[in-house]
Chains A and B, each alone.
Chain A
């Protein structure tokens, strides 16, 4: 009896011990054992560089995943099936595109950063194209990458400043090649000047609009303000020796004033300097190179000749560099002041005399 009791007690404690061990194992592994196992399942096939898939339209796409790179990405701790939720059976066929919003929303419990950009994206040119059924319209993963997403400070990231042009260039190839040759593209690519604009610095990121949309940062009435973000920024101007006057003189010119009051037929920065093909003025490729000025101005001013290049374009009459324009404006400034002053003196003297005469008359 005693032995029986002892035996049953031992049985109980060993059962408890086994459960306790399982519990401990689960606690320590935090459920990761299952993930890793799951990723291992996927890796069996998808770490094969030759894994390909034939699409119905005849295209062949690679289904290879570089797991080494994946385990360095921001999603390194996530299991494949967390995103590919429909990969439940083997072999996993016809998987849907991954929906990032499954984790990245405000208040999610997975600890994924809240990316509050969906609304901006849905109102953007890309989001609206997608909503209208354009299969070419980019979704999150087209710009950010799918398996290899890195922090944008990481040079591996597709959204790293120096990689942005290539990322946009996947679809916008023509503009990409033009931009890469431009003064901005060269500054970023060759000289690694991170202050130089990539695509998104002018066009915006998630909220990109068509250039014909009045809300777009590159809409004809707003693009000058976009250029001014850098070209009127004293810190950048000093650091990179950017000419400082253009923005101010443009604002004061007829073009600048007219556009400020909503005129849409006058020149903005890009009308003369180009939008993607911007070059320095001593570069023969530049639209503002001396010999190209008649053609550039001629877009709006029919019959424009070399006369348009005789004189400075961004001229500030208040600065000595303006030459004769400065002296003429100085002359008129003092003339106006003299006229005003002498007329005021005239009025005071005349009034004084008239009052004296009247008093005498009253006496």
Chain B
């Protein structure tokens, strides 16, 4: 196999955050969906494998604590580290993203032959990031209400708790759907990356791929280097 020149895309801290998120999401989704679909054979099987309904709750809360720690760590990371803050600024949505997204759709439909020229984070990357942020915040907030419902019900009436339960359940399903259909498709099943993109382990991307997928970033940071090497 040809030696590929690779460059860093995700730092170790980012990979650790991604890994913590991954672990907590997997546990939360498995234990959560098992409860939501407790009537199905799979739900029953999973709840029993987890050691019953009480143990299931403990696993779910353990993973929830992990998610909260990760979210807190991420908050400190984007607030207090120079690199983390720059990354955060580059993932903020801007007007260009909407134009790029529109261009992507046109490209996919064959209405245009031009792939949108994107920097480090394409519109779908940004959208996924913000979906994770919003989803996690909703899940953590509603989850804490359900976890501490005796305390919550000192302030909140019963019907709010009922809504919280509905939101927590459906939001969990939506997150699972997005991860299964979108994120896992991109990193596992997408023809170029099958069976798995290794980027989440080593954080590296080949210069070639960078040039194809993130042309603006390539131009901005590596064009001069690759020219020298040539």
Contacts and interface: CB of A to CB of B under 8 A. Distances in A.
B51 to A, nearest CB: 10
Interface in A310-363: 310-313, 315, 317, 322-325, 328-329, 332-333, 335-336, 339-340, 343-344, 346-347, 349-356, 358
Interface stretch (B18-26, B71-79, B155-163, B198-206): B155-163
A305 interface: yes
Contacts of A315: 159, 162
B81 interface: no
B190 A311 contact: no
Contact of B154 (A262, A307, A323, A336): A307
Given A339-B178, A347-B185, A328 B52 contact: no
A328 B150 contact: no
Contact of A303 (B154, B178, B190): B154
Q: In terms of DSSP, what is the predominant structure of the interface of chain B? A: helix
A307 B170 contact: no
Nearest to B151: A303
A347 B174 contact: no
Question: Which of B157, B162, B192 is packed against the most chain A CB atoms within 10 Å?
Answer: B162
B174 A261 contact: no
B52 A339 contact: no
A329 B166 contact: yes
B155 to A, nearest CB: 8
Interface residues of B, number: 40
A302 interface: yes
Contact of A309 (B52, B110, B158, B174): B158
Nearest to A266: B53
Contacts of B141: none
B69 interface: no
Contact of A261 (B53, B171, B191): B53
B19 to A, nearest CB: 24
B44 to A, nearest CB: 8
B110 A263 contact: no
B157 A303 contact: no
A53 interface: no
Contacts of A308: 153, 158
Nearest to A254: B165
Given A261-B52, A339-B174, 4 more contacts: A262-B53, A311-B162, A336-B177, A340-B177
26 contacts: A258-B54, A260-B38, A261-B38, A261-B48, A263-B54, A301-B149, A304-B153, A305-B153, A310-B159, A311-B157, A311-B158, A311-B159, A323-B159, A325-B159, A328-B167, A329-B166, A332-B170, A336-B173, A336-B174, A340-B181, A343-B181, A343-B182, A347-B181, A353-B107, A354-B192, A355-B191
Interface of A: 254, 257-258, 260-263, 301-305, 307-313, 315, 317, 322-325, 328-329, 332-333, 335-336, 339-340, 343-344, 346-347, 349-356, 358
